[in-house]
Amino acid sequence: MSKVLAVAWREFKYTALTKAFIIGTIIFPLVIWAGMAVVPLLFKPTPTVVEGTLAIVDPTGDVVTAAMTILNAENTAPDPLAESIKAAQSGAIDAQAMIALANDDVPGNPFSSRVQFNLNIESHADTAQLDSLHARIRSGDLLGAVVLEPNVIDEMAKDGVTLYVATQANPDHVEAIRRAIGKAIVIARTTRAGLDIDAIEAMTKTPILTTRRLTEAGEAAAGIELQKLLPIAFMFLLWVSAFASGNYLLTSTIEEKSNKVMEVLLSAVSPLQLMTGKILGQAVVGIMTIAVYGMLGIAALSFFAMADLIQIQQIIYLALYYFMAYFMVAAMMAAVGSAVSDLQEAHAIITPAMMVLFLPMILFVPVSQSPNGMLAVITSFIPLLTPFVMIIRVTAAEPVPLWQIVLSMVVGFGGVAAMIWMAGRIFRIGVLMYGKPPSLLELLKWMRYS
Amino acid sequence: MTEPSISIRGVSKSFGQTQAVRDLHLDVPRGSLCGFLGPNGAGKSTTIRMIMSIIYPDAGTIEVLGGNALANKDRIGYLPEERGVYRKMRVAEFLEYIARLKGITGSGVRKRAQAWLERMELPHVARKRCQELSKGMQQKVQFIASIIHEPDLVILDEPFSGLDPVNTALLSRMMNELQQQGTTIIFSTHVLHQAEQLCDRIFLINHGVKLLDATLEEIRQKFDPRTIIADPLNGHADFTRIPGVAAAERASNGNGYELLLAEGADPQTVMREIINTQPMRSIELRRVTLDEVFVQLVMADQGAAAAARAMEELKHE
């Protein structure tokens, strides 16, 4: 046993305590996480300023007045993103509301192509000078000209407004002007009808609905969106860590073969001891990966005061299904790694199995939408898929029947036992084979050797 | 004498159509330093791997240290032909790791590794990564790895290949020292004269068949020399007229002649006769070399054509 532990420790040390691993697994996600906080700032566009002179041909004169009002008012609105994050942190609103608020199309929203106005409005009562306006637009003297038919205000006509701009006009600016003029027309119409536009807007704006979850301790913000994402996050965590450490196992086994240290090792330990040690060592690497990513996830949830969304039994399930997933992948990787001489040969053999193992990446959509649907139930009992499908189901909102959980454990760990047995059979032959890589058929033959 | 360290009884092994080892019987006496000789592809490594229970014989039995090699792994040191190191591991750490796998625990491991590195004239490499060492240095580290746990039996597969003469001498010295401490050593080589200087016992195999199993003394007695080197004072002479000389050829170094003795001729009589017939600068009876023994054995076993082939094989090495 001490030999197995010595192998496991070396495997762990030379995988996890290396610069490459620490940078790749620990620092990289930290950078990503920090990046999520910083990136929105990078994407926040510096507002471009629409400058110049805009001619408005408005027989009623009302639109010009309204336009002047809104163009001034738009420059002083608060930044909704900062406001919404502050609100979410304090637990006042949930994530859904936060997203809605942040995306609200108001000035300062980092994701809207916001512009500021610094326009001179040139008012015309009729189209007498239209030709000269056109000429001035072409020459660049005028930014544009809006021509309104009187019925736009009088009869609420749906068309009858034209905006003339130069060919090379900035499309963002054109869009901004269109919106401002549109709003000015609405204001002109309501004013004409004797109504208060602010009152109408206030009345028609859907209020933000806050959902509160009642927890043991009190109440907290309800992360409806996050709750939906949680099972998928769990599955990805499982998948990524099982594959990452499986891959390390593959590489380290191939390395031992290709640098010929294998026979030295086998003079001291049996192939089975070697394989067991390596698999255990990498299991710890995987657990560490899960722990790092999981803690980051929990830290992110705590940031929004939603860490209580994760329950202790979900973590237990994660651990159980992680071992199931990891040992399946690891057994496969150890067997293949022992049988080949380089990574390319390994990929040729491993591709068919990888296709099955990539299925969770497609399955997570229907399974998370319908955790107790036919597809979810059937795929729960296919050994290579069991841990990935089940982790989605047990972390989703709909409860999974107990018998299915028990059966999945039986099927999954049964599969693990079978795969480790097969891997052991292949490993003991494979480690000493050099030269041409074996075919899948030959691998099956090796299993039958006594 | 006590029971042998290794006892091989009727072992055969085939790989597909190729029979690597045929009905091999062998005893390695305890405390001996045995050379396991034969040209490339003779079946040496296959036999060694079977002794180590890395592969298994198709037929026959092998006993190592009174049991099965797997059960006695920690008492055996093994330097495989296909040997390597973890490139990224530090030398001392690599040696400690192997020692641990060999069942050595406790804090003395590091000291022991350091002491061996010094004995093998590698004093400043402990903290270096294995990949920073030259091939020869790596090989010395691998040798240490095979004996760091103070085994009763050491099996070295081609330990000298790739070593320069200085390190070859160093390694030979270490092997002698180990033998004096009571360790049984068996090493394979395809360079036969290396074994002549080192071993007290020799096994010679070719194409999977044992040709010879004897001590060096026995070999020298059994294979009496059949060649006389004669350098006449006047530069040339016709030696074929002398009774007992079957053939005479110019020596390959240009000095004198190599005279092959006829069947049944007594070397002493022939040499006296030569000195009596003409003035000589020098005359000597050449010692038998293992190469010659090998060729003679192949000749006796498989005929002249095989012997010629074997001679070619030896020349190439």
Q: Given the structure tokens 């090493």, which residue do they identify?
A: B187
Helix (H, G, I), strand (E, B) or coil at A209: coil
Q: Please report residues of A whose CB lies closer than 8 A to that of B85.
A: 259, 261
Q: In which order are the strands placed within the sheet that holds A161-165?
A: A115-124, A48-57, A144-148, A161-165
Sign of the CA dihedral running A29, A30, A31, A37: positive
Report pLDDT for A222.
62
From chain A residues 270-329, the ones with a CB under 8 A of any chain B CB are 270
Q: Which chain B residue's Cα is nearest to A273?
A: B101
Report pLDDT for A196.
84
Mean pLDDT confidence for A213-242: 76
- A341 contacts chain B (CB < 8 A): no
Question: Which two structure tokens, joined as six digits, stand for A412?
Answer: 């999954």
Q: CB–CB of A6 and B101 under 8 A? A: yes
Residue A366 belongs to what H/E stretch? helix A343-369
Beta bridge partners of B264: none
Distance from C-alpha of B230 to C-alpha of B52, rounded to nearest angstrom? 48
Mean pLDDT confidence for A259-277: 89
Contact between residue A393 and residue A231 where contact means Cβ atoms under 8 Å apart: yes
Distance from C-alpha of A240 to C-alpha of A238, rounded to nearest angstrom? 6
* φ/ψ (deg, to 5) at A34: -65, -35
Distance from C-alpha of B50 to C-alpha of B8, rounded to nearest angstrom? 10
Distance from C-alpha of A324 to C-alpha of B88, rounded to nearest angstrom? 31
Question: Cβ contacts of residue A91 below 8 Å, gap of 6+?
Answer: A220, A221, A305
Distance from C-alpha of B33 to C-alpha of B46, rounded to nearest angstrom? 20
Give CA separation, B204 vs B173, B176, B215, B290, B294, in Å: 23, 21, 11, 9, 8
Distance from C-alpha of A267 to C-alpha of A200, rounded to nearest angstrom? 86
Distance from C-alpha of A443 to C-alpha of A447, rounded to nearest angstrom? 7
Lowest mean pLDDT among A112-121, A316-325, A364-373, A378-387: A112-121
Q: CB–CB of A265 and B73 under 8 A? A: no
Residue B99 belongs to what H/E stretch? helix B91-101
Helix (H, G, I), strand (E, B) or coil at B82: coil
Q: Which of A395, A392, A383, A258 is nearest to A327 (CA)?
A: A383
Beta bridge partners of B64: B6, B67
Q: Please report residues of B whose CB lies closer than 8 A to that of A267.
A: 52, 54, 73, 76-78, 80, 146
Q: Which of B221, B197, B200, B223 is nearest to B294 (CA)?
A: B223
Higher pLDDT among residues A227 and A234, named by residue: A234
Give CA separation, A145 vs A53, A58, A135, A163, in Å: 9, 10, 11, 6
Residue B207 reports pLDDT greater than 90: no
Q: CB–CB of A432 and B54 under 8 A? A: yes
How many other C-beta atoms lie within 10 A of the C-beta of residue A285? 23
**pLDDT tens profile B19-30:** 889 999 999 999
Question: Cβ contacts of residue A300 below 8 Å, gap of 6+?
Answer: A33
Give CA separation, B215 vs A167, B29, B37, B196, B290, in Å: 104, 11, 13, 10, 12
Helix (H, G, I), strand (E, B) or coil at B130: helix
Q: Which of B158, B128, B138, B160 is nearest to B85 (CA)?
A: B138
Report pLDDT for A94.
54
Query: pLDDT-based confidence at B181, cuts 50/70/90?
Result: very high
Report pLDDT for B37.
86
Question: Which two structure tokens, joined as six digits, stand for A330?
Answer: 């690891």
Lowest mean pLDDT among A297-306, B123-132, B152-161: A297-306
Give CA separation, B314 vs B295, B297, B306, in Å: 9, 14, 12
From chain B residues 162-191, the ones with a CB under 8 A of any chain A CB are none
- B216 contacts chain A (CB < 8 A): no
Q: CB–CB of A265 and B101 under 8 A? A: yes
Report pLDDT for A34.
78
Distance from C-alpha of A223 to C-alpha of A96, rounded to nearest angstrom? 7
Distance from C-alpha of A379 to C-alpha of A363, rounded to nearest angstrom? 9
Report pLDDT for B261.
84
Q: CB–CB of B85 and A269 under 8 A? A: no
Report pLDDT for B241.
83
- B72 contacts chain A (CB < 8 A): no
Q: CB–CB of A2 and B86 under 8 A? A: no
Residue A224 reports pLDDT greater than 70: no
* φ/ψ (deg, to 5) at A417: -60, -45
**pLDDT tens profile B263-289:** 788 888 888 888 888 888 888 887 777
Distance from C-alpha of B73 to C-alpha of A310, rounded to nearest angstrom? 50
Q: CB–CB of B101 and A14 under 8 A? A: no
Q: How far is A373 from chain B (nearest CA, A)?
A: 50
Q: Which of B72, B130, B65, B141 is nearest to B103 (CA)?
A: B72
What is the model's pTM? 0.72
Residue A274 reports pLDDT greater than 60: yes
Q: Give A434-440 contacts, CB < 8 A, sequence gap 24+.
A: A434/A257, A434/A341, A434/B82, A435/A341, A437/A339, A437/A340, A437/A341, A437/A345, A437/A348, A437/A349, A438/A339, A438/A340, A438/A349, A440/A349, A440/A352
Residue B136 reports pLDDT greater than 70: yes
Lowest mean pLDDT among A170-174, A230-234, B189-193: B189-193
What is the DSSP code string of B202-245? EEEEETTEEEEEEEHHHHHHHS---EEEEEETTS---GGGSTTE
Amino acid code (one letter) for A361: M
Mean pLDDT confidence for A119-137: 87
Report pLDDT for A45.
61
Domain parsing of chain A, residue ranges = 2-35+224-448, 47-210
**pLDDT tens profile B244-257:** 888 888 887 777 88
Residue A60 reports pLDDT greater than 90: no
**B201-206 vs B33-37, strand pairing mode:** parallel
Contact between residue A138 and residue A97 where contact means Cβ atoms under 8 Å apart: no
How many other C-beta atoms lie within 10 A of the C-beta of residue A61? 12
Q: What architecture is domain A47-210?
A: 3-Layer(aba) Sandwich (3.40)
- Specify burial of residue B99 (Cβ count, 10 A radius: 0-12, 13-18, 19+): buried
What percent of chain A stands above pLDDT 90?
Answer: 19
Distance from C-alpha of A65 to C-alpha of A59, rounded to nearest angstrom? 12
Query: pLDDT-based confidence at A405, cuts 50/70/90?
Result: very high
Mean pLDDT confidence for A357-370: 86
Query: pLDDT-based confidence at A110, cuts 50/70/90?
Result: very low
Report pLDDT for A105.
46
Q: Mutating which of A9, A17, A267 best tests the B interface, going by the most B Cβ atoms within 10 A?
A: A267
Q: Please report residues of A whose CB lies closer than 8 A to that of B52.
A: 267
Identify how many contiguous H helices and E strands chain B contains and give both numbers.
Answer: 10, 13
Contact between residue B141 and residue B131 where contact means Cβ atoms under 8 Å apart: no
Distance from C-alpha of A438 to C-alpha of A339, rounded to nearest angstrom? 7
Report pLDDT for A47.
67
Contact between residue B133 and residue B91 where contact means Cβ atoms under 8 Å apart: yes
Q: Taking all residues of chain B, what is their mean pLDDT, rounded to a whole number?
A: 86
Distance from C-alpha of B35 to C-alpha of B6, rounded to nearest angstrom? 14
DSSP state of B74: G
Q: Which chain A residue's Cα is nearest to B52?
A: A267
* φ/ψ (deg, to 5) at B39: -70, 175
Q: Please report residues of A whose CB lies closer than 8 A to that of B84.
A: 259-262, 264
Q: CB–CB of A260 and B83 under 8 A? A: yes
Q: Mutating which of A264, A432, A450 best tests the B interface, going by the most B Cβ atoms within 10 A?
A: A264
Nearest to B86 among A6, A259, A267 (CB): A259
Residue B144 reports pLDDT greater than 90: yes
Q: How far is B192 from chain A (nearest CA, A)?
A: 25
Higher pLDDT among residues A152 and B34, named by residue: B34
Q: How many residues does chain A have?
A: 450
Nearest to B54 among A7, A266, A434 (CB): A266
Distance from C-alpha of A223 to C-alpha of A213, rounded to nearest angstrom? 9
Report pLDDT for A11.
92
Q: Given the structure tokens 């003394």, which residue do they identify?
A: B217
Distance from C-alpha of B138 to C-alpha of B88, rounded to nearest angstrom? 13
Domains for chain B: give ranges and CATH numbers. 6-220 (3.40.50.300), 224-285 (3.30.70)
- B254 contacts chain A (CB < 8 A): no
Higher pLDDT among residues A83 and A415, named by residue: A415
Nearest to B82 among A6, A260, A270 (CB): A260
DSSP state of A152: H
Residues A159-173: b if buried by 16+ CB within 10 A, e if exposed? eebeebbbeeeeeeb
Q: How many residues does chain B have?
A: 317
What percent of chain A stands above pLDDT 70?
Answer: 84
Sign of the CA dihedral running A257, A261, A265, A266: positive
Residue A153 reports pLDDT greater than 70: yes
